[in-house]
Amino acid sequence: MQKKSIELHVMWHINSLIHSFPITLVTSIDVQGRMNAAPYSLVMPFCSSPKNPQMLLIANKNWHTAKNVQATGEFVLNYPRAEQIKDINETAQFYPEGINELEKTSFTTMPSQFVRPPKIVECYQHVECRVKEIIKPSQTQLNFIADVLDLSLDEAIYESPRIERTKNVNAPIFLGVDEQQHYIFGRIGELESFPVYSGIEK
């Protein structure tokens, strides 16, 4: 089968690259204490050591979330469900600075344990973060490396095996933008569990 190389342009990671991204709702506050919420997919564990757990959040420096996190050093990653996609998309709209996007949705909040930004009640998982380091790989991009202060989930999730938990949370995925610049969302349709082999004959 023939392959074709393509040119990379601005936002190549969601326009050209076919890649599935997780969806988180990042809550933050500005220096005046006003809350902001926005969906982010460039999020992943940065350090897997339980002695130094860290997350990586990548954002455009001009967005409200990045400005808030840079100013206060704190944020919360909230993990929504696929059936909440309309509310997720609502938080992606470009509201003026200082507007609380969650007020446009059915989402509600509860206090976090260690940071000022709140958790979103209706999300199934939350990661409270405090910025450790900021890397600037380009003129517009900020990479926030943050210490994980707390990881919390809906208590009922722990009552079933891992694969059942994964099915029950019904996590959405982000697949980039189409030619009309519309967001493409999806959900995981099927899950399977396979044994891991060491490759060593027994």
Tracing tokens 């979330």 back to the chain, one arrives at: 65
Half-sphere exposure of 55 (CA within 13 A, CB side): 24
Q: Identify the band that residue 17 occupies on the pLDDT scale cut at 50, 70 and 90.
A: confident
**Separation between Cα atoms, residue 48 and residue 53, nearest integer Å:** 6
Domains observed in the chain: 19-187 (2.30.110.10)
Model confidence, pTM: 0.91
Spatial contact of 26 and 118, defined as CB atoms under 8 Å apart:
no
Average pLDDT, the chain: 92
Instruction: Kindly report, residue by residue over 169-180, the tens digit of the pLDDT.
Output: 999 998 888 888
Residue type, 98: G
Q: Is the pLDDT of residue 51 over 90?
A: yes
Q: What is the pLDDT of residue 201?
A: 59
33 dihedral zone (left: phi>0; alpha: psi -120 to 50; beta): left
103-132 average pLDDT score = 97
DSSP state of 128: E
- Eight-class DSSP state of 155: G
Separation between Cα atoms, residue 116 and residue 10, nearest integer Å: 34
Q: Is residue 198 very low, low, confident or very high in pLDDT (cuts 50, 70, 90)? A: low
When pLDDT is cut at 50, 70 and 90, the band that residue 113 belongs to is very high
